[in-house]
Amino acid sequence: MADSKREVERKYEATPETRLPDLTRAAGVSAVVHRGLTELDAVYYDTEDFRLAAGSLTLRRRTGGDDAGWHLKIPVSAGIRDEIQAPLTDDLPPDLTGLLRSRVRNTAVSPVVRILSARDIHHLLDEDGVLLAELSIDEVLAERLTEEGHGTTSAWTEMEVELADDGDPAVLDAVERRLLKAGVLPSAAPSKLARALAETDPEKPRQTKKRASPHDAGGHVLAYVHRQITAVIELDPAVRRDLPDSVHRMRVATRRLRSAFRTYRKILDRAVTDPLRDELKWLAAELGVDRDQEVLDERLRSRVAGLPDILVLGPVSARLQLSRVAGSTGARRRVVSALDGDRYLALLESLDALLADPPLRPDAARNPGDVLPRAVLKDYERLATRIGHALEQPPGHDRDLAMHEARKAAKRVRYAGEAARPALGKPAKKFAKKMKAVQSVLGDHQDSVVARDALRTLASQAHGAGESAFTWGLLYGQEEAAAADRERELPEVWARASEPGLRAALKG
């Protein structure tokens, strides 16, 4: 079973003659304890076209030290990576294979670089002897591995300072100030592998160069599409690891893609994008099972927590827990199964193909200030029609359905405004913000509709088990009142969002 930890470190240039300054003068550091020398032997793996390196991921099999095994490092932000560790085996463990799937697809990974490190380790301790950070000076020898065997080599010395688990990042700042004052400079390479690849063969990895941002409408839409596709691929490992909010963020990326394909169909050919929209809708539905259950659970638990104890009759929390476990367990298996399936891989390949050979229509070559506002405002008109229809309905089932349809339209027009923002600037930003406010009101209303359905089911189950259904009825009444509040709020929010000046600003 793979284990995960958050790695927070900083790298510095060094030479064999580099000497550590007195780091006990760094704030918080009371002692520097030499822990000796260890030998590390790591073989790094990647695809033939270096897909992992292109995404700043590293996969290695390492012996030596106290953490021998397979290590997959996934970037989080500058200087911060998640390191997933698996036991030392001859073959790549299945737990890591799944985390690589969105990157490598069906392409095999093989050894690309071997790195030998002689690591001189020092522990930085506080006044109570608690570990704050580990500093190491590494003498590194890197060797490119080829199909023919051994390749070119490179050698260097570097310094790493890695924060202890649950440590305060301020320690790294304090240590860095002492190192910089002593003339030790930050490393230009983000990792040993990146430096090894650059120094042993400057022609590799052959990473795809970023597309220059063109000034036409097609370039702006493609840049937005590219960001969403990248988000889907990068969030895949996080969803598999069940990290907080990962399913929601991946689902949003699929929705933004679908929205862009539909809104900007005068820029991207529907013959290509419509089948992709269908597949993205399928993926969003698979992800939605887990996410919708999570949102519902959070809402109901919050409602119960807000009740006085005297109004909570029967095993309310226990029944909620049973409902959550029953719903989330099946949903979790379904999501992972979808990500492991051939249909998902085919979708990723199709999205890559779209970026490689964009199906541009004539309007793509036009000025974005002319093309994008028309597309956004067309979505706005659809939303206005649905809002008007919803407000005409009497309270009840028909209004609930109408407001749900309006919610979907509001989400689409908001995404359209966000996609146009790099080209249209502040007017698009303000427009999207107003649409988000409308979406929020409609979204909370729909969440109340879903919650009331769930509460009816829970009340029925409680009654059938001989429990009091009083609390469930009380919560139902609260949700009914919340929905009524949103219905009263909508006209005012929509009035602010539908000001003529807001739309006129989009047109310049």
For residues 125 and 249, membership in a common domain is answered with no
Residue 173 φ then ψ, to 5°: -65, -45
What pLDDT is attached to residue 206? 47
> Which among 166, 200, 234 is the end of a domain?
200
- Domain termination site, one of 200, 228, 252: 200
CATH code of the domain in which 367 resides:
1.40.20.10
Instruction: Please tell me the number of Cα atoms within 13 Å of 151 on its side-chain side.
Output: 19
Q: Judging by DSSP bridges, how do beta strands 3-14 and 149-163 pair with one another?
A: antiparallel
pLDDT (mean) for 101-127:
95
Whether the predicted pLDDT of 213 surpasses 60: no
Question: In 49-182, where does DSSP find H-type helix?
Answer: 51-54, 94-104, 170-181
The total of structural domains in the chain comes to 2
pLDDT at 149: 66
| Cα atoms in the 13 Å half-sphere on the side-chain side of 302 | 10
Q: Is the pLDDT confidence value at 423 over 70?
A: yes
> Using one digit for the tens of pLDDT, what is the confidence trace for 305-339?
999 999 999 999 999 888 777 666 667 788 899 99
Total residue length of the chain: 508
Give the tens place of pLDDT for each residue, 265-281: 999 999 999 999 999 99
pTM: 0.87
**CB contact set of 111 (below 8 Å; sequence gap of 6+):** 43, 44, 45, 145
Can you tell me the mean pLDDT for 101-117? 95
Nearest to 505 by CA among 419, 385, 417: 417
Residue 468 domain-assigned (yes or no): yes
Q: pLDDT, tens digit, for every residue of 61-88?
A: 999 988 899 999 999 988 899 999 999 9
| Ramachandran sector of residue 93 (left: φ over 0; alpha: ψ -120 to 50; beta: rest) | beta
Is position 16 within any domain?
A: yes
- Cα 201 from Cα 129, distance rounded (Å): 44
Question: Would you say residue 207 lies in a domain?
Answer: no
pLDDT digits (tens, 9 = 90+) for 464-486: 999 999 999 999 999 999 999 99
Residue where one domain finishes, among candidates 144, 168, 200? 200
99 within a domain of the structure (yes/no): yes
Q: Is 208 a domain residue?
A: no
- pLDDT tens figures, 371-420: 999 999 999 999 999 999 999 999 999 999 999 999 999 999 999 999 99
Pair 133, 164 in one domain: yes
Looking at the fold, whether 293 and 190 belong to one and the same domain comes out as no
- Measured CA to CA, the distance from residue 299 to residue 35 in angstroms comes to 50
475, 303 in Cβ contact below 8 A? yes
Q: Which of 4-18, 171-185, 368-382 has the lowest mean pLDDT?
A: 4-18
Residues 84, 90, 92, 95, CA torsion sign: negative
* Closest residue by Cα to residue 101 from 346, 274, 314, 329: 346
Question: Does 181 share its domain with 224?
Answer: no
Helix (H, G, I), strand (E, B) or coil at 114: strand
Determine the structural domain holding residue 113 and report its residue range. Answer: 3-200
CATH number for the domain spanning 93: value is 2.40.320.10
The owner of tokens 């919708």 is 292
Please state, rounded to an integer, the average pLDDT across all residues of the chain: 92
Question: Are residues 186 and 228 part of one domain?
Answer: no
- pLDDT-derived band at 434, boundaries 50, 70, 90: very high
Q: Indicate if 390 and 417 belong to the same structural domain.
A: yes
User: Distance from CA of residue 463 to its chain's centroid?
Assistant: 41
Q: Are residues 230 and 359 in the same domain?
A: yes
Q: Rounded to 5, what percent of the chain is helix, strand, coil? A: 55, 20, 25
Q: Are residues 134 and 250 in the same domain?
A: no
* Residue 116 contacts residue 85 (beta carbons within 8 Å): no
In a domain, 212, yes or no: no
| pLDDT at residue 210 is higher than 60 | no
207 — pLDDT class (breaks 50, 70, 90): very low
Q: To 10 degrees, the CA torsion angle through 369, 222, 77, 205? A: -140
Are 378 and 472 contained in the same domain? yes
Same domain, 279 and 186: no
- Whether 205 maps to a domain, the answer reads no
Q: What pLDDT is attached to residue 212?
A: 35
29 within 8 A of 124, measured Cβ to Cβ = yes
pLDDT of residue 208: 45
Same domain, 454 and 422: yes
Domain-embedded: residue 251: yes
Question: Alpha-carbon distance 340 to 242, whole Å?
Answer: 15
CB under 8 Å to 311, separation ≥6 — which residues?
470, 471, 474
Task: Indicate whether 117 and 31 sit together in one domain.
Answer: yes
